[in-house]
Amino acid sequence: MEIKKDLFSPLKAWKYAFKTPVSFPMEDIKDRPRESQDNARGFHINDLSKCIGCGACAEICPTEAIVMVKRKDLEEKEGEHPERPTMDYGRCCFCAMCVDICTSGSLKMSKAYVLNTPDPQKLYVMPEESFPAPGGDILGYDKTPESDLLDLKRAEMPAVAGAQAKKSFVEILKGYSMEQARAEAARCIGCEICVKTCPANMHIPEYIDAVWQGDLAEGLAQMYKTNPLPGICGSICTHKCETVCAIGKRGEPVAIRWLKRYIVDNAPEAMYEEVLMAPVSKPGQGRVAVVGGGAAGLSASYYLRTMGYQVDLYEAKPLVGGVARYGVPAYRLPDERLNKDVELLEKIGVKFLVNTKVGQDITLDALHDQYDAVFLASGLPQSRALKLENGDHPDVRYAMPFLAAARDYQRGAGEMPDVAEKAVVIGGGNVAFDVARTILRLQQKKYGHSHVSLVSLETRDILPADLEEIEEGEAEGLHCHCGFGPQGIELFQGKIRGLNTVKCLSVFDEQRNFCPVFDPEQKGMIEGSQVYVAVGQMNEHTYFTPEHLERIALKGGKVQVDDWGQVKGAPWLFAGGDIVHGPDMIHGIADGHKAARGIDVYLQSRSETA
């Protein structure tokens, strides 16, 4: 039997002669190259217009195959680097981690993974929309939500709930704990796109990294290099950095502002002194007067003082701080954090001359005589007027004086402003929301209930105010009437009955100029016995004499200066902040820093020529 089986078994092999062979003939491989599977990790493809050059791919690449290369045809613009990734396929291991971490989602992989070439240069490429190899235009591997290597969700910020929040002026956001701050800091990829956009060019990745490492002293030092008011900025900065944050392309941007606040809140006083009170190596010679104790003035004072100049800061109000002190309500920026910033300035020897209004108590020319240079940053202390029917009624209030009075009340330095049971606020910016939410709190205190309506030309999606302001305001019970224009104030027996409105169809014309179009058919009235106007701020150039104005150029009320803040026509005078760039805190801080350097150069060149 065995013999028989052995004898016939070779015949079994014959059946394979009629089967398809398991191996492929060479012709097949040449003519019909195998097609890869749907998910294949092949050569990269990159949508160059979508790519922002953040370099996260190069950062994570385990084989260092990716190098970011500057492209000459791309301009330096906000929100991206003019760089794009190049791949060295001699090193690449096709792990696709670059795809999984890509912030913009532009980098993907094609189905092509066969490329035979005698030219090694062809294996060092900048990926574009398709790869020059068979299958190079078909999408292979792309990331899925599970494989994403970024953390798209913010660490949650503890906050007081809306209904509770409007009962007091206690700060709403409670601030990060150490765990939360470190988790949030770990989301940053360090691409530095934010640095370019920040007016002060703050060293953002560096201090975020310091938070992540748990090194608050380093974080503090990094912040003060470009911004001496991190406490103010940590609360109320307009955070242009977060708008352009690479993580924000697909998820929630890194909470840069809150991380800054975390450092300020948690760095002890001793650390401030240790890190920031270093002696000046080569003190500057000269005396500088700073006009205005707002963000720009404080910033300039800090940097001038750290360069060794004698700095006298003139402030019209009893306390320095500007808008941060007399505008922003305490639930957004409490005095304690503001004081922390200001106290350091006092410690390093900046002299505050409060209750001294330049132009009234002392003239600008007197300052010119007494000091070597003057930095002008008087800000926009006045509210812009609004022409309305019956607009001169005493119950029509303006934002800036009201906020200042309310803020004085909050710190116990003034009477409670009289608010009516029902009020209407006109405006759609952050100031309007500050006014509205302050009234809410005052009404709550006075009457136990609140009713505030906010009327804005812009619809909710294009409101200039920050989204968090809108959301928090609505949570507190603010009635927003977005997309309506104020027409006039209706009176009844000498008292305000309400605000007549008309539907606003569009706010801007095609050239993005302010040109509201109304629909006269859609009219309405919003009830309220007080009307608050918050439609912008105005400067108050009372210190300029006619002789000054002959030499100094003003354009739309804004002082014209060069790159370093030097006023055209008056070399001894520097200006910055809101009177130059319009209302913005961080711009003011940047202006102060620039002007300090400008003044330093000016004074040194003057002493050399003298």
Least distance in angstroms from the C-beta of 155 to other proteins = 8
Please state, in angstroms and as integers, the Cα–Cα distance from residue 207 to each residue in 149, 181, 194, 237, 449, following that order.
22, 12, 12, 16, 43
Q: Judged by CB, which is closer to other proteins: 187, or 240?
A: 187
Closer to other proteins by CB, 258 or 371: give it: 258
Annotate 355-387 with DSSP letters as a single string: S--BTTTB-HHHHHHHSSEEEE-----EEPP--
Nearer residue to other proteins within complex by CB, 152 or 348 = 152
Which lies closer to other proteins via its Cβ, residue 190 or residue 488? 190
Nearer to other proteins, 262 or 484 (CB): 262
Residue 584 makes contact with other proteins by CB under 8 A: no
Determine the Cα–Cα distance for residues 498 and 414; give it in Å rounded to an integer: 28
How far apart, in Å, do the first and last CA atoms of the chain sit? 122
User: Taking CB under 8 A as the criterion, which residues in 103-122 touch other proteins?
Assistant: 109
The answer to whether residues 456 and 565 touch, using CB atoms and an 8 Å cutoff, is no
CB of 277 to other proteins, least distance (A): 32
Least distance to other proteins, CB of residue 70, Å: 22
The least distance separating other proteins from the CB of residue 108, rounded to whole angstroms, comes to 11
With residues binned 3-state (H G I as helix, E B as strand, rest as coil), the percentages for the chain, rounded to 5, are 35, 20, 45
CA distance 3 to 199: 94
CB atoms < 10 A from the CB of 433, how many? 28
Of residues 175 and 417, the one with the C-beta less far from other proteins: 175
Choosing from 52, 185, 288, 575, the residue that interacts with other proteins (CB under 8 A) is 185
In whole angstroms, how close is the CB of 22 to other proteins at the nearest point? 3
Cα–Cα distance measured from residue 301 to residue 310, given in angstroms and rounded to the nearest whole number? 9
Report if residue 96 touches other proteins, rule: CB under 8 A: yes
Nearest to 432 by CA among 379, 486, 389: 486
Binding mask 395-434 for other proteins (x = CB under 8 A): ----------------------------------------
Q: Name which of residues 376 to 395 contact other proteins (CB under 8 A).
A: none
CA angle 560, 565, 570 (to 5 degrees): 65
The 3-class secondary structure across 321-347, one letter per residue, is CCHHHHCCCCCCCCHHHHHHHHHHHHH
Please give the residues from 6 up to 25 whose contact with other proteins meets the rule CB under 8 A.
Answer: 6, 12, 22-23
* Interacting residue with other proteins among 51, 112, 165, 189 (CB under 8 A): 189
**Burial class of residue 247 (count of CB atoms within 10 Å of its CB; 0-12, 13-18, 19+):** buried
Between 235 and 274, how does the x/- string for binding to other proteins read (CB under 8 A)? ------------x---------------------------
- Tell me the one-letter amino acid at 59: E
CA 169 to CA 321: how far, in whole Å?
18
Which of these ranges, 89-97, 124-132, 449-457, 600-608, lies near other proteins under the rule CB under 8 A? 89-97
Written as one string, the DSSP assignment of 588-606 is HHHHHHHHHHHHHHHHHHH
User: Are the C-beta atoms of residues 335 and 169 closer than 8 Å to each other?
Assistant: no
User: How many chain residues are in contact with other proteins, going by CB under 8 A?
Assistant: 42
To 10 degrees, what angle do helices 269-276 and 216-224 make? 50
Can residue 140 be called a binding residue for other proteins (CB under 8 A)? yes
Could you give the CA distance from residue 187 to residue 189 in angstroms, rounded to a whole number? 6
Mark the segment that binds other proteins (CB under 8 A) among 147-155, 215-223, 446-454, 534-542.
147-155
CA contacts within 13 A on the Cβ side of 85: 33
Please say which residue, 218 or 527, places its beta carbon nearer to other proteins. 218
Choose, by CB under 8 A, the member of 29, 93, 517, 553 that binds other proteins.
93
Supply the minimum distance, in Å, between the C-beta of residue 150 and other proteins. Answer: 5
Choose, by CB under 8 A, the member of 67, 138, 149, 491 that binds other proteins: 149
Closest contact distance (angstroms) between CB of 193 and other proteins is: 15
Q: Distance of CA 141 to CAs 95, 126, 149, 485, Å?
A: 10, 18, 15, 51
Does 41 interact with other proteins (rule: CB under 8 A)? yes
Q: Which one of 136-144, 224-232, 285-293, 563-571 is the stretch in contact with other proteins (CB under 8 A)?
A: 136-144
Asked if 65 touches other proteins (CB under 8 A), the answer is: no
By CB under 8 A, residue 59 contacts other proteins: yes
Binding site for other proteins (CB under 8 A): 6, 12, 22-23, 36-41, 56, 59-60, 62-63, 93-97, 100-101, 109, 140-141, 144, 146-147, 149-151, 155, 182-183, 185-190, 212, 247
